[in-house]
Amino acid sequence: MCPATRDTEKLPESMGVLLRLVKSELMCAMEEELTAQGVDLRHSQVHALRCLYLSGPMSAGELARALAYDAGAMTRLLDQLEERGYLHRRPDPDDRRALRIELSTSGTALVRKLADYKERVLDRALGALDDEERRRLTDYLQRVLITLRQSH
């Protein structure tokens, strides 16, 4: 379930490798936590459900932007979640192109049940950092992201 790269002796120094590994391990940890709770969903799927729960119904495009997801990927993500009954695609009454994605009862229940699984995992992952360091890590990453986006 996890990348088979954990037995590397020494820590990667390259920023690219480092980012890839941390992201991949974090995703793995999230998904282990999910399967531990008997939920057969990817972290990204739960993230979408949670986003709908927190912000209420929205269009597929809005949801894609909220998760920084590709539109095509979002269609398929919605397919899977709708198939399993966690949400419904309703027509938007004001715009016949658009959808209004709504959590179903079971989708809402699932999000409530999972509650703060993400916070738990993050807390474990960031356990080696104190509050100040966590704040800084987020800050640094955001600043790097801004720089990268500006430079093209």
Partner DNA sequence: AATCAATAATTGCTTTGACAACTATAGCTC
Partner DNA sequence: GAGCTATAGTTGTCAAAGCAATTATTGATT
Q: How far is the CB of 100 from its own copies (least distance, A)?
A: 21
Choose the binding region for DNA from 49-57, 72-80, 106-114, 121-129 (rule: CB under 7 A). Answer: 72-80
- The tokens for 6 are 């954990």
- 78 contacts 60 by C-beta, under 8 angstroms: yes
Q: Tell me if 98 contacts DNA by CB under 7 A.
A: yes
* Of 58, 30, 55, 57, residue with least CA distance to 114: 30
Q: Which of 44, 53, 120, 125 binds DNA (CB under 7 A)?
A: 44
H or E element, residue 17: helix 15-36
Closer CB to its own copies, residue 15 or residue 116?
A: 15
Q: Closer to its own copies by CB, 21 or 98: give it.
A: 21
HEC profile of 41-93: CCHHHHHHHHHHHHHCCECHHHHHHHHCCCHHHHHHHHHHHHHCCCEEEEECC
Of residues 95 and 139, the one with the C-beta less far from DNA: 95
List residues near DNA by CB under 7 A: 1-5, 20, 24, 42, 44, 59-62, 64, 69-79, 89, 92, 95-99
